[in-house]
Amino acid sequence: MNNITQLPTNQLEPNPLQPRGAINHETVSDLVDSIREHGILEPLIVAQTPAGYQIIAGERRWRAARTLKLPYVPVIIKKVNPQQMLEMAIVENIQRQDLNPIERAKAFNRLKDEFNLDNHVIAQKISKSVPYVINVLKLLTLPDAIKDGLLSGLISEGHGRALGGIGDTRLMIEAY
């Protein structure tokens, strides 16, 4: 059962395995306004570690709570290992479609490299198909200029995959 409890805001730490590359300060600012008016509507998910409590899901809410100097935040404490922390953070962000395509690809690659998971296991853990995982991972092979286009939102993930299908880097860049 997921019991909600209150923890002191200053006892929480960001997740070093967070798949999101950077926190958008503008969205945190918007969240500050919302929390000021309505409070924190959804508890943070945290893991108890030897170093303290690390945030699995809800880092933006935590940052907003710190900005507002809230002494406590609602949390659900999970007993998980580092692999499970990364998996939960990835799933939570994918469900909200919160990671950009390159962050998602890097997160999948970490599951492969750090925990020796294959594409089938990753697909199962995130409730997606194996071809979906393979296509996302292929984005990491794109030239940096095209990856930058994906990161900035200049091109969509579908466009990135189509460009990757060209095979020749020079032709990819020309088509981009």
Q: At what angle do helices 130-138 and 119-126 cross, to 10 degrees?
A: 110
pLDDT digit string, tens, across residues 127-170: 889 999 999 999 999 999 999 999 888 999 999 999 988 988 88
In terms of pLDDT, which residue wins out, 25 or 53?
53
Confidence of residue 122 (pLDDT cuts 50, 70, 90): very high
- Strand ranges inside the chain, DSSP E: 4-8, 12-13, 44-49, 52-57, 72-78
- Residue 21 gets which letter from DSSP? S
Given this model, what pLDDT does residue 136 score?
Answer: 95
Nearest to 161 by CA among 170, 152, 175: 175
Third-level CATH fold of 100-176: Arc Repressor Mutant, subunit A (1.10.10)
How much is the pTM?
0.64
pLDDT at 36 over 60: yes
Domain 1-80 CATH (choose: 3.40.50.2300, 3.90.1530.10, 3.40.630.30, 3.30.1660.40) = 3.90.1530.10
pLDDT at 80 over 60: yes
Q: Which residues are catalytic?
A: 59
pLDDT digit string, tens, across residues 82-113: 888 888 888 777 766 667 899 889 989 999 99
Task: State the average pLDDT over residues 26-39.
Answer: 84
Whether 176 and 155 have beta carbons less than 8 Å apart is answered as yes
Given this model, what pLDDT does residue 127 score?
Answer: 83
Residue type, 46: V
For the chain, what are the domain ranges? 1-80, 100-176
Side-chain half-sphere exposure of 113, counting CA atoms within 13 A: 7
Encoding tokens for residue 161? 């995959």
94 C-beta neighbours (distance < 10 Å), count: 18
Given this model, what pLDDT does residue 19 score?
Answer: 62
Task: State the average pLDDT over residues 56-71.
Answer: 93
Given this model, what pLDDT does residue 175 score?
Answer: 86
